[in-house]
Structure 1
Amino acid sequence: MPKRAHIVISALLAPMSLCLAMPAHAATPNADDGAEAWTPTQSSIRANAAGISLPQTVAGLSLAKSGEASSGGRAIDNYAQYLSEDGAIQATLYVYMPTYADASLAAYMTDKAIMERFGSQTRRTAYASAPAAGQAGRAIRAVYDDAADGALVTAAGFVHAGRWIAKIRITGPSERRAQVLAGLDGMLSGLAFDDAASLHATAPAAFSACPAADTGDARLEKAEPATPTVPLDVRIPREGKDALCVRDAVTTADRRYDMLQQAGRSDGPIIVPVDDSGTVLAFDPAAETRGYKLSIHMVGQTDLYGTYDKVPSPRQIAAIIDGKDAQTAQAQSVATYAANGDVTVNQLTPTAH
């Protein structure tokens, strides 16, 4: 999985004592494996907090190891790695909790990452809704041939269950394409959910071009003292349920990102997906005043920033992503999500320089 963008987030800020708690992929596996995130049985492995299980042996693949990909000890960003007997086919199930959860968006960003990583010869040969847990249209299935100059076939599957995303990635030699696809389909059909009703219907996102929009710089309004509150959901259709359009392109030092909004609505929220691990910038119309509030959504965390008088320009958003916007570094609060759904909100004050 690609490294997250260099966004200036709450690590640069010091928390005040005010704190409240109330109810309310993923990175590459590292050495800080959190076995407590998973419960193995004789035949399966279960991501405890998410209530998602997969057989330990499926379609010629066997569980090799499991743990936490990041946020060690919080059980919100978990992986289970599977291998063929000879190790030539590798698959990983990621079970993670982004605070902006959308399987359609996860598939879109993973598609971009795969195309970027494996080269221009890579061909997308399947990209459509698929069944999960015996329910039609509850997953997205994607297949890519001729990756790595024709040497590899790689594939992916995506499911949104409750607050969680389950993402499958599998790769193997091109001459063993049938086994790679059998592994993907076996893992998708083998997924079991404690609450099958929590699965969201999903479909690949479709994007058109938005009408021309104002691209001038926005002004960050003066921050007013406020009581920390749990973030509201960004009010934009998800899971391919409504057409989105590309408002503009954001070009940073090393990458290009799309500014997305709901087609036919110039006054709605704007989102900028940053990576395939669930990082999303959101500009949401402010309820109490004119303007747009910035929030940055990640796995298990949302950073809440100030209000702009209008949607920031692509140049300003690029500065935010690159960590070069000093104004935006003045976060107001950070919401941290536990695996059980509890949210803790900390009000922040800038660290002295």
Structure 2
Amino acid sequence: MKTVVLMVALAVATPAVARDLQVPADKGWQHAQTGLVLMSRLAGMRRTGLSDSTQGEQDVAAQFAAPDGSVQATLYLFHPDVADVSLWFDRSQLALRRRDIFRNATAATAQPIGFAAAGAHAATSLRQLFATPGSALSSTGLAIVPLGEWVVSIRISATTLNAAQLDTRLQQLIAEIRWPAADTQARIAAPMTACTTPLQFGKAKVAKPSGADLLMTLMMQSVAAKARADDKTPTPPSPPSLWCRAAEANADYGVYRSDSGAQGYVLALGDAGRVVSVYPSVMGMVDKTGTYTVSLQDVDGTVSAYPSFTALPTPSQVWALVGSGKRTGMAKGGAITIDPKAM
């Protein structure tokens, strides 16, 4: 769970310095914004670390380990712009398989397992276990659990347990977490699938700066981010979108499209909740220019805007633009900052 957005090329590649949360090792910790509680011990493991890469507990990591070190687990709690279990499981699974220690991992099941967690009455979460031959570890696994507008990602590994035994330990860990009220509107989770229709990219070039376009983008994204942050209701106000994979994924990003956003897509950066949105701009629809805005939403509510494109750009174009660090403006908590050169 990495990075504050300054330049995404650096933000994705370089971990931010996380601050330790000052909680006694023998005491439980409660996350103020969700109500989730982590006790000092879970599934026979003691909590060995608790940190936050943001200033407001929007990206928390908690480490647990068995007394003999034979089983270790890390729990991540983060606030993504897109709180979709299938999407973040897709990203987490790829991140796991890309690690050298897990390159020969063999899945214990052909597909991730949907299961009910956090008090849910339906299979709104996903988990999968792997055998890891040729590694210092005997097995590893991951699980993604929805928590309203938040996501809980759990990684667990063992040196002696097989995949089935580790699955039992993972389920025990999840059961011992003190979850808040269940999200009754969470969608039943399923493995991510490819989109049935491909994206149609245009001959996109970076558009001339438009102050009105930039301001509108930042205002709309800022209002949406603030609404999510201020929402005190236990469930989203409407059913969540259904997402599909719009292009082959790589270690840096995955490309996804929702059933409510067929004209654009998002890049999910890494596996830690940060996304880049690429959608038709409001001003582009008004003045018929057909421009597409590019904005990055960080887990701490920061929205960063980048130059627009004259048509729907390819993911590689967007990745190059965002990685260049040419941010034109930023919004957070109602405060908007704009680069004068972008006006």
TM-score normalised according to structure 1 size: 0.74
Shift of 1:179: 4.5
Aligned to 2:168, what secondary structure does the other structure show? Answer: helix
Aligned to 1:192, what secondary structure does the other structure show? Answer: coil
1:91 equivalenced with 2:78 (yes/no) = no
1:166 equivalenced with 2:152 (yes/no) = yes
Query: Where does residue 17 of structure 1 map in the other structure?
Result: none
Q: Which amino acid aligns with 2:131?
A: D
1:334 equivalenced with 2:319 (yes/no) = no
Aligned to 1:205, what secondary structure does the other structure show? Answer: coil
Shift of 1:310: 1.5
Q: Which amino acid aligns with 1:211?
A: P
Q: Output the CA distance in 2 between the equivalents of 1:10 and 1:172.
A: 33
What do the CA deviations read for 1:244-291 (whole angstroms, capped 9, x no partner)? Answer: 242x4587xxx564433247x895221111201112111022233232
Shift of 1:111: 0.4
Aligned 8 A contact 1:330 1:350 in 2: no
**Closer, same or farther in 2 for the Cα pair 1:148/1:315, shift >3 Å?**
same
**Closer, same or farther in 2 for the Cα pair 1:214/1:67, shift >3 Å?**
closer
Q: Which amino acid aligns with 2:256?
A: L
Aligned to 1:268, what secondary structure does the other structure show? Answer: coil
Query: Where does residue 130 of structure 1 map in the other structure?
Result: 115
Query: Where does residue 231 of structure 2 map in the other structure?
Result: none
Query: Where does residue 311 of structure 1 map in the other structure?
Result: 312
Query: Where does residue 337 of structure 2 map in the other structure?
Result: 347
**Closer, same or farther in 2 for the Cα pair 1:267/1:96, shift >3 Å?**
closer
Shift of 1:188: 1.8
Q: Output the CA distance in 2 between the equivalents of 1:102 and 1:200.
A: 9
Query: Where does residue 19 of structure 1 map in the other structure?
Result: none
1:188 equivalenced with 2:189 (yes/no) = no
Shift of 1:112: 0.5
| Partner residue of 1:283 out of 278, 284, 291 | 278
Aligned to 1:93, what secondary structure does the other structure show? Answer: strand
Query: Where does residue 115 of structure 1 map in the other structure?
Result: 97
Q: Which amino acid aligns with 2:295?
A: S
* Unmatched 5+ stretches in structure 1: 13-24, 336-342
Aligned 8 A contact 1:218 1:311 in 2: no
Instruction: Map 1:192-341; keep pairs closer than 5 Å.
Output: 192-197=178-183, 200-203=186-189, 204-208=191-195, 210-211=197-198, 213-214=200-201, 216-225=203-212, 226=215, 229-231=219-221, 242=242, 244-246=244-246, 248=247, 255=251, 257-262=253-258, 267-288=262-283, 289=285, 290-300=290-300, 301-321=302-322, 323-324=323-324, 329-335=326-332
Aligned to 1:108, what secondary structure does the other structure show? Answer: helix
Question: Between Structure 1 and Structure 2, which shows a larger proportion of helix residues?
Answer: 2
**Closer, same or farther in 2 for the Cα pair 1:7/1:312, shift >3 Å?**
farther
- Identity of aligned pairs, percent? 19
Shift of 1:302: 2.2
Bigger relative CO (Cα 8 Å, ≥ 6 apart): 1
Aligned to 1:219, what secondary structure does the other structure show? Answer: coil
Aligned 8 A contact 2:255 2:266 in 1: yes
**Closer, same or farther in 2 for the Cα pair 1:250/1:108, shift >3 Å?**
closer
TM-score normalised according to structure 2 size: 0.76
Shift of 1:197: 3.5
**Segment drifting more, 186-195 vs 106-115:** 186-195
* Unmatched 5+ stretches in structure 2: 226-237
Q: Which amino acid aligns with 1:331?
A: T
Pairwise CA RMSD: 3.8
What do the CA deviations read for 1:142-193 (whole angstroms, capped 9, x no partner)? Answer: 2122266484311111122122211111111254545532221012222333
Question: Between Structure 1 and Structure 2, which shows a larger proportion of strand residues?
Answer: 1
Aligned 8 A contact 1:40 1:46 in 2: no
**Closer, same or farther in 2 for the Cα pair 1:348/1:240, shift >3 Å?**
closer
Shift of 1:86: 0.3
